[in-house]
Amino acid sequence: MRDTVLPHPVDPAPRNADAGPANRPSPYRTGRGTGTVYLVGAGPGDPGLLTVRALRLLRRADVVFHDSLVSDGVLRLVVASAECVNVGKRAGGRSTDQAVINRMLIDAARRARTVVRLKGGDPLIFGRGGEEALAVRDAGVRCRIVPGVTAALGVAAYAGIPMTHRGVSSKLTFVTGREGEDASDVRVDWSRHGEAGETLAIYMGVRGLPSLATRLIRAGRDAATPVALVENGTLPRQRTIEAPLGRIGDVAAAAGITGPALIVIGEVVALRQRSDCFEARALHGVSILVARSRPQRSRLARRLAGLGADVLQAPAFDALPAPDASLDAALLCADAYDWIAFTDETAVAACWDAARRVGRDARIFGALRFAAFGRATAAALQRRGVRADVVLHSFAPAAISAAFDEYARSRPPCVLFPRIADQRSEAAAALRNAGAVVHEVIACRTAARDDGGVVRGRLENGEIDVVVFASSNSVQVFRRHVGPLVARARIAAIGPRTARAAEAAGFTPHVVANATLDSLVRALRA
Ligand code: SAH
């Protein structure tokens, strides 16, 4: 994402125009130089709850205007070339005036093709999306609405609450708990919600909760009715508090709610499945920084996130071109090899770049067979239209020769191995041990990037619970690019060698796990 002003984009042919009369008007050309404003629901936080259509729009947006409610995880999916503007409340301040936002949307549509107005949850549920759509259409700009998972639905599901249930609740009401702040609001008549059997999903209700609860009880709702208050729903920091209606005001005040929170009132709350809800995951709510020494997305980070941890990887890396043309030269005589082997996505990308550089395409690989170490590497090939002939999951020579043996050979296989400079190559050694003749070429270099102290700041603020070092290399890279400070975070090292390197660098490990994820998780939960 960038925050510079966009040049006027060229209006290309419509992406999804079907065959038809050649002079059919472009769906994008709604007026001279006018784009389309898409009012898009970002869901309650978890990027997995975006719709496919929303994701496609984020990938091709020229400008994105978003609220503060839109999560970082969703914003990370916005294409890097888009201009991204936060028009929501910042640090307790005021949000941008609605009339100003309307104006910004209209102006943006006059200079850009795809303008995305990204709103938390669904744009038309308590999101003023209706007003924005009217203003945009009144200005003669095309407006499209892409619904999102509204907080009530996403949050209830992740908290394990069935909002309706046969024999318990046959009515669900979405209602705002914010009243009186805007004279033009239609007032809610709480006396009409006193009956059992109705589930209330209350948005923006934390501040007014004690008075709401009193009014509902006065209207006839039993003071023992169960209530759940879900803060930061669907996010790694999701927290659910439960209390009966008669006491929820006090309990919520004592809990100190700071994030967005949804209140669910009704008998269905008693049916909550605590055991399989989002918060029951092994590492839910634990914020983990995985120190890395390579640019690829680490499998460890992915698996920790799958267990509910809020995972950050640092430092960031840039891929730089190879120091010489040996990769280009090797690819130009690809038929001298039997195989090409990859251990990571960055090298795969570098090969495709090299093919382009020498004026060729994927056919440059000719009859080469492809070997990929790891599923992520195989997936990187697959995305480029190549199915790896073998996917290797270990460096064990026996496994490698078995894989090669599947393909008849009369001489040792000759393997081209494009790799990243400065990285220890266990794979090359393993291939040689398995009897291959290996030609290593440097496909690219990578360089860790300093982030201007952002990660250090988060560590110092106590926002990170654990720093995980998975290799001694990651210790060195972290020391160099993030710094010596690890403040209050606990330090976990995987394997004794990593632990010794961490100790030597001044990061005394609190936890030393062996190489399995299970052992790390056990240690982190202890
Ligand atoms: N358009 C949004 C609602 C905006 S009003 C939607 O459809 O969800 C903002 C309110 O939504 C918050 O005060 C809170 O009550 C609720 N909310 C939004 N995101 C939430 C989340 N991740 N967890 C809990 N409540 C959330």
pLDDT digits over 213-233, tens only? 999 999 999 999 999 999 999
Q: Per mean pLDDT, which of 175-184, 232-241, 388-397 is the most reliable?
A: 232-241
Q: What is the pLDDT of residues 260-298, one digit of tens each?
A: 999 999 999 999 977 767 888 889 989 999 998 877 667
Q: What is the pLDDT of residues 299-358, one digit of tens each?
A: 788 889 888 898 988 888 887 888 889 999 999 999 999 999 999 888 999 999 999 999
> Nearest 5 degrees, angle CA 93-CA 96-CA 99?
150
Candidate of 40, 46, 69 to mutate for ligand 1, largest count of ligand atoms within 8 Å of Cβ: 69
Q: What is the atom index within ligand 1 of the atom nearest the CA of 205?
A: 15
Q: What is the pLDDT of residues 407-436, one digit of tens each?
A: 766 678 899 999 988 776 788 888 998 889
Residue 155 Cβ inside 6 Å of ligand 1? The answer reads yes
Q: State the angle between helix axes of 472-481 and 496-504 in degrees (0 to 180), rounded to the nearest 10.
A: 30
**What confidence category does residue 6 fall into, taking pLDDT thresholds of 50, 70 and 90?**
very low
Task: Specify the residue with its C-alpha closest to ligand 1, atom 24.
Answer: 261
Longest dimension (CA), the chain: 88
pTM of structure: 0.73
Strands 369-373 and 339-342: parallel
Residue 355, C-beta contacts closer than 8 angstroms, at least 6 positions apart: 331, 361, 362, 364, 365
The confidence score (pLDDT) of residue 17 equals 33
SS3 readout for 32-68: CCCCEEEEEECECCCHHHCCHHHHHHHHHCCEEEECC
Tell me if 304 sits within 8 A of 467, measured CB to CB.
Answer: no
The confidence score (pLDDT) of residue 28 equals 34
Classify 452 as helix, strand or coil. Answer: coil
Handedness of CA 159, 148, 213, 200 (dihedral sign): negative
Instruction: Indicate whether 111 pLDDT > 70.
Output: yes
Beta-carbon count within 10 A of 72 CB: 10
Rounded mean pLDDT, 185-198: 90
Residue 473 Cβ inside 6 Å of ligand 1? The answer reads no
SS3 readout for 57-107: HHHHCCEEEECCCCCHHHHCCCCCCCEEEECCCCCCCCCCCHHHHHHHHHH
Candidate of 118, 126, 238, 263 to mutate for ligand 1, largest count of ligand atoms within 8 Å of Cβ: 126
For 2-31, give the DSSP string. B-SPPPPPP----TTPPS--TTPPPTT-SS
The confidence score (pLDDT) of residue 519 equals 81
> Nearest 5 degrees, angle CA 500-CA 501-CA 503?
65
Q: In angstroms, what is the span from residue 70 Cα to ligand 1's centroid?
A: 10
Residue 301 Cα distances to 39, 99, 208, 291, 453, angstroms: 33, 42, 40, 10, 21
**Does the active-site annotation cover 171?**
no
The H or E element spanning position 288 is strand 287-291
Residue 150 Cβ inside 6 Å of ligand 1? The answer reads yes
Which residue is catalytic, options 3, 11, 62, 89?
89
Residue 129 Cβ inside 6 Å of ligand 1? The answer reads no
Q: What is the atom index within ligand 1 of the atom nearest the CA of 45?
A: 22
Instruction: Indicate whether 514 pLDDT > 90.
Output: no
**What confidence category does residue 120 fall into, taking pLDDT thresholds of 50, 70 and 90?**
very high
Task: Specify the residue with its C-alpha closest to ligand 1, atom 11.
Answer: 203
**Does the active-site annotation cover 67?**
yes
Residue 260 Cβ inside 6 Å of ligand 1? The answer reads yes
Q: What is the atom index within ligand 1 of the atom nearest the CA of 129?
A: 1
Q: Residue type at 176?
A: T
SS3 readout for 223-275: CCCEEEEEECCCCCCCEEEEEECCCHHHHHHHHCCCCCEEEEECHHHHHCCCC
Q: What is the pLDDT of residues 488-507, one digit of tens each?
A: 788 999 988 899 999 999 89
The 198-203 sheet, strands edge to edge: 171-176, 198-203, 261-265, 226-231, 239-244
Beta bridge partners of 313: 290
Q: What is the pLDDT of residues 454-491, one digit of tens each?
A: 888 888 888 899 999 988 888 988 888 888 777 778 89
233-269 burial by CB neighbour count: b if 16+ within 10 A, else e? Answer: bbbbebbbbbbebbebbeebeeeebeebbbbbbbbbb
d(CA 456, CA 479): 11
Dihedral of the CA atoms 34, 38, 39, 44 (nearest 10)? -150
* Chain-centroid distance, C-alpha 226: 33
